[in-house]
Amino acid sequence: METPRLAAVILAAGQGKRMKSDLPKVMHPVGGRPMVLHVIERARGIGADPVIVVIGHGRERMIPLLERERAGYVIQEQQLGTGHAVLCAESRLADFDGNVLVLAGDVPLLSEATLKGAAELHRSRGAMVTIITAQAPDPAGYGRILRDADSLIVGIREHNDASEQERNIKEINSGILYFNSSFLFDALRRIGNDNAQGEYYLTDVVFQAFDAGQPVAGFIAPYDEIHGVNSVEDLARAEAIWQERTGLA
């Protein structure tokens, strides 16, 4: 069976106010390199082509960096949510047929092994969507994975929209997902923003897959790999893990 083509869309438009810096969040270094470059490297390492970075805040610093790396980019003029961010990349993928991997530019510790494992699950299950999940010690702020009595994934609830019971769920959406490309962009054009944040959530695409009876798979990854860097404390933690992995600690 021929392996489908793979494209990657990296979300990197956020400001990162908790970093307490004028530097765009994804340009803060881990292991001596901007976080977003680690993510680009992982995407390329599993054969993604093209790799498109969605940028917004700090674009005047981001663009020269991406051009040096020969990475494609699109600009999200307004930060209207993850679904809107991915839709901004549609024009660059107009003739693309295959799978689209959506990554976050602030997750520098993700391994190729995890991405390859999730890709294999996506292919073997014939899934329309595959979600990379993890068990989080503190799931606050993350979307929660909802499963039925048979442990099948039946939805994702964003933190701000979750009930008290749902907020006790430890399994989280990492924000890293594989999609069938034709399904993804068709579904993105149909999502709304009727939620607590008034944003267009990428996770609403997953709900469309459920509603249409399309297969959705879930791949559980180590939490340390998918933990996003959202603060100076997170950055220090990521650097410590990086040094431990590379034998520098």
Top-confidence range, 7-21, 54-68, 147-161, 189-203: 54-68
- Mean pLDDT across 53-61: 96
pLDDT at 121: 94
Confidence of residue 1 (pLDDT cuts 50, 70, 90): low
pLDDT at 41: 97
- Mean pLDDT across 205-233: 92
**Whether 6 contacts 177, CB under 8 Å:** no
Q: How many whole angstroms separate alpha carbon 133 and alpha carbon 114?
A: 11
SS3 state at 106: coil
Active site residues: 18
Q: Say which residues have a Cβ less than 8 Å from residue 155's Cβ, sequence separation at least 6.
A: 146, 206, 207, 210
Q: pLDDT tens, 16-38?
A: 888 888 899 999 999 999 999 99
Q: How many whole angstroms separate alpha carbon 223 and alpha carbon 109?
A: 10
Is the pLDDT confidence value at 249 over 70?
A: no
Q: Is the pTM of this model over 0.85?
A: yes
> Is the peptide bond preceding residue 50 cis, with omega within 30 degrees of 0?
yes
pLDDT at 248: 65
Report the candidate in 130, 136, 155 with the shortest Cα–Cα distance to residue 216. 130
Cα separation values, 176 from 87, 131, 148, Å: 16, 6, 21
Residue ranges per domain, the chain? 5-245
Higher pLDDT: 51 or 4? It is 51
Which percentage of the chain shows pLDDT scores above 90? 76
Q: What is the mean pLDDT of the chain?
A: 93
- Mean pLDDT across 37-61: 97
**Whether 134 contacts 110, CB under 8 Å:** no
Is the pLDDT confidence value at 7 over 60?
A: yes
Q: Where does 5-245 sit in CATH, by number?
A: 3.90.550.10
Question: What's the half-sphere exposure (Cβ side, CA atoms, 13 Å) at 73?
Answer: 25
Strand-pair category, 98-104 with 144-147:
unpaired
Tokens 């993105």, residue? 188
CA 242 to chain centre: 20
- Mean pLDDT across 227-238: 93
Q: How many whole angstroms separate alpha carbon 166 and alpha carbon 163?
A: 5
Report the candidate in 246, 62, 83 with the shortest Cα–Cα distance to residue 177. 83
Q: pLDDT tens, 82-107?
A: 999 999 999 999 889 999 999 999 99
Range list of β-strands (E), 158-207: 171-180
What DSSP designation does 91 have?
Answer: G
Q: How many whole angstroms separate alpha carbon 30 and alpha carbon 101?
A: 22
